Structure formats: structure tokens, C-alpha cells
Amino acid sequence: MAHPYHHALSSVKKWGGTVEDFVGVHNWLDVTWTGKDFLGAKGSDSP
């Protein structure tokens, strides 16, 4: 998987703006796409 920074660079090329505009979004998306638990996001009934 590519680093979120590189995904943000792709978004800058496509949509304009700066890397800082997109890197936070891509950090979040990259974590959710891996299926890893993101700050306990699986719900309160998780073991």
C-alpha cells in the first residue's frame, strides 16, 4: 500500500490545492481500507 502522502499528491494533481489539504483525509482512508481497528471504531461490543 502506498503512503497517504503519495495518495494526497495524486489528489492535488486531480483536484488542485495542497498536500496538506488532502493528507488528513488520506490518513483516515488508508487506515479504514486496511480493516484495522481505528481508535475503537468497531463498536462498543468489541472484545
Give the model confidence (pLDDT) of 20-46 as tens digits. 999 998 888 877 766 666 555 555 444
With respect to residue 9, please indicate whether it lies within any of the assigned structural domains: yes
Residue 2 has pLDDT above 90, yes or no: no
With respect to residue 19, please indicate whether it lies within any of the assigned structural domains: yes
With respect to residue 23, please indicate whether it lies within any of the assigned structural domains: yes
With respect to residue 30, please indicate whether it lies within any of the assigned structural domains: yes
Domain count, the chain: 1
Query: What pLDDT sits at residue 27?
Result: 85
| CA-based R_g, the chain, Å | 13
Mean pLDDT along residues 9-17: 94
| Residue 42 DSSP SS3 | coil
Residue 12 has pLDDT above 70, yes or no: yes
With respect to residue 20, please indicate whether it lies within any of the assigned structural domains: yes
| Residue 1 DSSP SS3 | coil
Domain that holds residue 25: 4-34
